[in-house]
Structure 1
Amino acid sequence: MARDYAGKCLDFRKNCGLSMGFILIIIGGVTAYVKVKSEVESYPGQMVNLSCEFMSSEGIRLTQVSWIWEPKEGQRENIAVFHPQFGDSYPVSALSGRVRFLHGSLENPSISISDVRMTDEGKYVCEYATYPSGNEQGTTTLVMLAKPKNTASVVTVTEGTSAVVVARCESANGRPEAEITWETQAAGKEARTARAGAENTVTVLSEYRLVPTAEDDGRDIACVVSHRTQGAPQILRLKLSIEHLPKVRILGYDSDWYRGRTDATLVCEAIGNPEPTNITWKTASGPLPDTVQVRENTLTVRRVDEAVNTTFVCEAQNRLGASTEQVTTLITEPRASPSNTGLVAGAVVGGLLGLLLLGGLAAALVALGRRRHRGYRGNGGPGPFGGKKANKNGAGGGGGNNNGPIYTYREGEPGTLTEKANDLQLYGSTPTAHDILLSSEMDEAERRKFDRLTQMEDIEDEDEERYDHFGGSGPTLHIRRHDDMSGYLDDDMESQRDGSIISRTAVYV
């Protein structure tokens, strides 16, 4: 600070006078005895205090202290003087009546300035006259702050091909001047200007310019103002306004307009700036069919038929003009209801499964019946004692006569056969050896059960007889019939280990 002051004293006679003696020089630097704040902030209308203090008066005699104001533009002025013998004095200046000493002493000659104005900004020098050191001083810069008023607005423009201003942002009457930036996705550029405002303030204006398109209409844009008086930047949010013709879309057509469908709808969506004021429906070939109903921007077909197999056109208008959009509807034949189709398919599949199940069950029953028929039946099957059943002409023994004699074998009377009444008349054929043996050993209840079972098997035998007659294969046991049965069974029948009896003379074919 002393070095700066020494630079200003090159012209000793003009600027400093004889009272500016010498500057105390200490090896390694320059030391000042006056303590002040380097910078003080204030707002218009407030009171500001400017402090000043002499750090050490040992060996130095203080004679007088003065405050000098150096405005940014203009001449230096003495605004306050204190002398220990004559007291304080306030020369005529721009601060007359608004400045005073706070303590009235040489050691602490601080001052206050009331009703601070923007024009009071500048440097304030606290200067001591000392002996033998000469003059000592300290300088405080008063910074006047003015909080700006920030505003932003959009400029409504029409879609075009040249860059124009679409938004403005202004920070008015601020001190110091504000900084303005833009945040947006719209591709453009900023142009900034500044001008002097009232009472030494500054007004900053920023404009955003771009080539306006319909795609930028309604897009977000923000003006960001940064200033010393604000704790954080102020963000002013806007939306661009670019006028353009309506943009039209037709919604609702799903390519499934079949004959007989009811309440098929189309919606005309129109977006424009200014807002579209009129939306109309028509067809490419003329007026709308009688089955069509229009309400506002919605078209409803009460019943789809050949009359609506056409091209529908929607037209939207605003102040700039009209725009259209169209859709072609194709009428198709009705399709089966998904629910009926499912029922039909289910019924078909169920029927097929049922037939397969019944067929498998029938096959199993037939196989089981044949297996049983061949395994233990003695009246005609290919079992161990069966022989082919006689036909109705008597072939194979017995013919169709049910009343033939039945012979039984008695173990206690070897070599004899005993004729027995025909208890097996229900069999309908000549009894086999197995039948003869079984009939002699059954009680009455078992005989009736055996008779019923044998009668059912005889019915199956007739079916198999037909099968054998037409080429069926497999061995058939025939028991020869003899007119004289006496002594025949004893010689012919042979007992087996499993308890069965078979004929020695049976012929297998």
Structure 2
Amino acid sequence: MARHDARNWHDCSEMIGLLCLVASILLQHGASGQRVKVEPEVSSYPGQTVNLRCAFTDATGIQLTMVTWIYEPKEGERINIAVFHPNFDPNYPDSPVKGRVSFTPSPPSLASPSIQISEVRMTDEGRYICEYATYPSGNEQGITHLVMLAKPQNSASIVTVEAGTKPVVVARCESLDGRPAAQISWVTTANGNGTTVSKAGADNTVTMTSEYRMVPTAADNGKDISCVVAHRTQVKPESFPLKLAVQYAPQVTIVGYDNNWYLGRTNVMLTCQATANPVALSVLWKTLSGEMPDTVQINGNELKVLKVDDAVNTTFVCEVKNRIGVGKDQVTAIVREPSVNPSNAGVVAGAVIGSLLALLLVAALVAVLITRSRRQQQGYRANGGSDMKTRIFGGGKKASKNGTGGGAGSGGVGGGNNNGPIYVYNESSSHQGLGEKNNHHQPLTMGGRPEVVATTPTAQDILLSNELDDAERRKFDELEAEERYDHFSGGAPILQLRPPHDQDDIIGDYLDDDMESQRDGSVISRTAVYV
């Protein structure tokens, strides 16, 4: 048991010792590597002069013996290109840069053995190693990468293709003779992908070529696509915007048919719209029946029907042709019977109803005005418009100028005048009551009985005054004709009394059914009260 533990301890000690040795070697190598200072990378264009600097920063306790510059191309073996020993002159072995490489400054020193290469070439690109031979540390080195730059010539172009079913190259982008190689990408909404290949160019340059492939369709024609080239020599990527060019046969659509071609309709039109690449060469209209109706006029891509009839009830076909092929479309016209547009019918009906309502309103207004005018005319007013109402008991002729009647002697009552008196009821004078109108009647005494001589206008005067309507004029004409008696022998004047609520039934100064004609030609009231 003790022996087994001792063996394990011995193995562990050996492993720890080995790890410590490796760590010390690495640390020593790292420490020594940090003392040789160089530039990690130097870039240059062809024909320029480059400086490759090198220095040993801390030589305390170390003896510097010699410095050697080594060139290591990307492909090939390492080659010594410059050697310096303090006890000898600088030496430049045979190499691709011999005659163009030298130490700087001259003479060189072990503390700073930098070199320069003039008229650099693209083939000079690679790793340059500055290596010190020291004692007791051994060799220590620093590595510089020389990068040769060449600005490429970039370009992009569109490849014109025909629409198809297989992927083809539709665009190409190229970065010619660049160093290092350029990076190419594509930006587009088209459904495809780009492939890039590189090719070695002259003087160690690189040419990059990228192609964009896709299955071209008519819808892809004119779509945007851009080639973007990024290179170290450029401040920003260079973009080349392009548009895809896809050729295809015409795509045709007939527009203008609204499914409302009715008999008698005029000036309807069909338009043949076509898209094509290249442009269309011809447009042809025809019908499936083979005969074009007489009422049809064709002007390029437009077909106009002057008047719809039964001959237009056919299928119209439009054919468009270009270099790639022919495209066509057709529309079948169905001729219908004329129909009234519901919207127009509603407008017409509304206009008719509105007109009728307006006429009815005007007629009603006219009727009201006529009725009111007649009612005003039927209310016979003495003195043309006062609030008095006159009751006529009998008819008479026009009185003479002296108020005595006409036909007999002066001062007597002639046989030709048997007018009864006119009594006036003055509604505006409640205290006056019922009495004779003083300015029209003069009382006379004949044989002990009072007589009243009236100056009331006759029916003829009333007719001439235009104050009565036709019905009342006829009534007064009849009264004039019946006036053939010598005198009125009906006794004293008659006063007709009527309750106030009956006044609404009066038409003028009469009731509708109150008056009654007598044999002697007079007219009396059925409800009159004799005084």
TM-score in terms of structure 2 length: 0.64
User: What secondary structure, in the 3-state scheme, does the structure 2 residue paired with 1:215 have?
Assistant: helix
Aligned to 2:481: none
Aligned to 2:491: 484
Aligned to 2:47: 45
1:364 corresponds to 2:369? yes
CA contact (8 A) 2:496 2:527 kept: no
CA contact (8 A) 1:385 1:432 kept: no
The amino acid that maps onto 1:180 is I
Measure how far apart 1:167 and its partner are. 3.3
The alpha-carbon distance between structure 1 residues 463 and 245, as it changes in their structure 2 partners (threshold 3 A), is farther
The amino acid that maps onto 1:484 is G
Aligned to 1:183: 187
Give per-residue Cα distances to partners, 1:361-397, cap 9 Å, x unaligned: 44134236526755x7479xxx98455x8xxxxxxx5
Matching of residues 97-112 of structure 1 within 5 Å: 97-104=99-106, 105-106=108-109, 107-112=111-116
Give unmatched runs, 5+ long, in structure 1. Answer: 1-21, 390-396, 409-417, 467-480, 497-501
Aligned to 2:56: 54
CA contact (8 A) 2:33 2:140 kept: no
Aligned to 1:148: 152
Measure how far apart 1:325 and its partner are. 1.5
With 254-263 and 350-359 compared, the bigger mean Cα shift is at 254-263
With 137-146 and 191-200 compared, the bigger mean Cα shift is at 191-200
Matching of residues 155-174 of structure 1 within 5 Å: 155-174=159-178
Partner of residue 92 from structure 2, selected from 73, 90, 93: 90
Aligned to 1:353: 358
1:398 corresponds to 2:405? no
CA contact (8 A) 2:259 2:334 kept: yes
Identity of aligned residues (%): 46
Aligned to 1:440: 439
The alpha-carbon distance between structure 1 residues 98 and 124, as it changes in their structure 2 partners (threshold 3 A), is same
Give per-residue Cα distances to partners, 1:157-176, cap 9 Å, x unaligned: 44333434433333343333
The alpha-carbon distance between structure 1 residues 99 and 30, as it changes in their structure 2 partners (threshold 3 A), is closer
Aligned to 1:231: 235
Aligned to 1:216: 220
CA contact (8 A) 1:250 1:314 kept: yes
Give per-residue Cα distances to partners, 1:300-340, cap 9 Å, x unaligned: 5567666555433211123343222223456676999x99x
The alpha-carbon distance between structure 1 residues 31 and 155, as it changes in their structure 2 partners (threshold 3 A), is closer
Aligned to 1:122: 126
Give the Cα–Cα distance (whole angstroms) in 1 for the partners of residues 489 and 135 of structure 2: 180
CA contact (8 A) 2:388 2:425 kept: no
Matching of residues 63-78 of structure 1 within 5 Å: 63-78=65-80
Give per-residue Cα distances to partners, 1:245-294, cap 9 Å, x unaligned: 21112344556767787765543232223433222222332244455454
The amino acid that maps onto 1:458 is L
CA contact (8 A) 2:252 2:273 kept: yes
Give the Cα–Cα distance (whole angstroms) in 2 for the partners of residues 118 and 438 of structure 1: 148
Measure how far apart 1:431 and its partner are. 4.1
The amino acid that maps onto 1:109 is P
1:136 corresponds to 2:140? yes
Count the aligned residue pairs.
429
The amino acid that maps onto 1:119 is T
CA contact (8 A) 1:79 1:93 kept: yes
The amino acid that maps onto 1:127 is E
Matching of residues 407-426 of structure 1 within 5 Å: none
The alpha-carbon distance between structure 1 residues 437 and 347, as it changes in their structure 2 partners (threshold 3 A), is farther
Give the Cα–Cα distance (whole angstroms) in 2 for the partners of residues 484 and 85 of structure 1: 188
The alpha-carbon distance between structure 1 residues 164 and 507, as it changes in their structure 2 partners (threshold 3 A), is same
Give the Cα–Cα distance (whole angstroms) in 1 for the partners of residues 281 and 294 of structure 2: 26
Give the Cα–Cα distance (whole angstroms) in 2 for the partners of residues 429 and 83 of structure 1: 177
Give per-residue Cα distances to partners, 1:50-82, cap 9 Å, x unaligned: 222332445555443332111121111111233
The alpha-carbon distance between structure 1 residues 33 and 492, as it changes in their structure 2 partners (threshold 3 A), is closer
User: What secondary structure, in the 3-state scheme, does the structure 2 residue paired with 1:316 have?
Assistant: strand
Aligned to 1:13: none
The amino acid that maps onto 2:472 is E
The amino acid that maps onto 1:125 is I
Aligned to 1:14: none
Partner of residue 321 from structure 1, selected from 313, 321, 325: 325
Aligned to 1:393: none
Aligned to 2:429: none
Give the Cα–Cα distance (whole angstroms) in 2 for the partners of residues 440 and 463 of structure 1: 26
User: What secondary structure, in the 3-state scheme, does the structure 2 residue paired with 1:370 have?
Assistant: helix
The amino acid that maps onto 2:368 is A
Measure how far apart 1:120 and its partner are. 1.5
Give the Cα–Cα distance (whole angstroms) in 2 for the partners of residues 362 and 282 of structure 1: 68
Partner of residue 277 from structure 1, selected from 281, 284, 291: 281
Give per-residue Cα distances to partners, 1:11-32, cap 9 Å, x unaligned: xxxxxxxxxxx98967995562
Aligned to 2:469: 459
Give the Cα–Cα distance (whole angstroms) in 2 for the partners of residues 372 and 319 of structure 1: 97
Give per-residue Cα distances to partners, 1:186-238, cap 9 Å, x unaligned: 22344444444444344444333333333323333333333333322333333
The amino acid that maps onto 1:282 is K
Measure how far apart 1:124 and its partner are. 0.8
Matching of residues 374-393 of structure 1 within 5 Å: 377=381, 385=389
The amino acid that maps onto 2:358 is L
Aligned to 2:3: none
Measure how far apart 1:360 and its partner are. 0.8
Give the Cα–Cα distance (whole angstroms) in 2 for the partners of residues 93 and 440 of structure 1: 163
With 105-114 and 351-360 compared, the bigger mean Cα shift is at 351-360
Measure how far apart 1:87 and its partner are. 3.8
Give unmatched runs, 5+ long, in structure 2. Answer: 1-23, 404-410, 427-434, 442-455, 477-487, 501-508, 510-523
